Amino acid sequence: MAHTIGKCPRCGRNVDWRVGQSIGVRDQLVWSRSMRCQSCGQQLEEDYEGMPPAWAREALLARNGTWRIVLALDADRLRAAATLRALLRLGLKETTGLVRSKSSTLWSGTQVECMWLAKHLRALGIETVVEKQQDPK
């Protein structure tokens, strides 16, 4: 679980939000958030499908680092980009960038995002490796 500071929806005080991400039972990407306000007692737990909003994703990346999917065969790049476009609802410009990229890194994000995408790519016979990105020195 990652932590981030946000506002209590009831009283507006700063609270510690816990944020998590996982692969759901239907192989969908899911994320969750929960909090308990020490001031007013409000408790909240919520689950969502899809990519988390930027604030939640930033907390997950800060907690667990940035991960990447490395494409094993460049010949699979077009099919892999089409798959990512469908799964992540990428626009044409983003997808074109994936296709034209000379990097072996197909996607960078949270560990769960990379594992989820790699699982779908493997199901199509596209070989990938998921690894933690090294921090720039």
The fold of 67-132 is Ribosomal Protein L30; Chain: A, (3.30.1390)
Beta bridge pairs of residue 96? none
Write the pLDDT tens digit of every residue in 80-92: 999 999 999 999 9
Q: Name the stretches of the chain with pLDDT < 70.
A: 136-137
- The pLDDT, as a whole number, for residue 90 is 96
> DSSP labels for the chain?
-EEEEEE-TTT--EEEEEEEEEE-TTS-EEEEEEEE-TTT--EEEEEEESSPPHHHHHHHHHHH--EEEEES-GGGHHHHHHHHHHHHT--HHHHHHHHH--SSEEEEE-HHHHHHHHHHHHHTT--EEEEEPPPP-
- 0.85 surpassed by pTM: yes
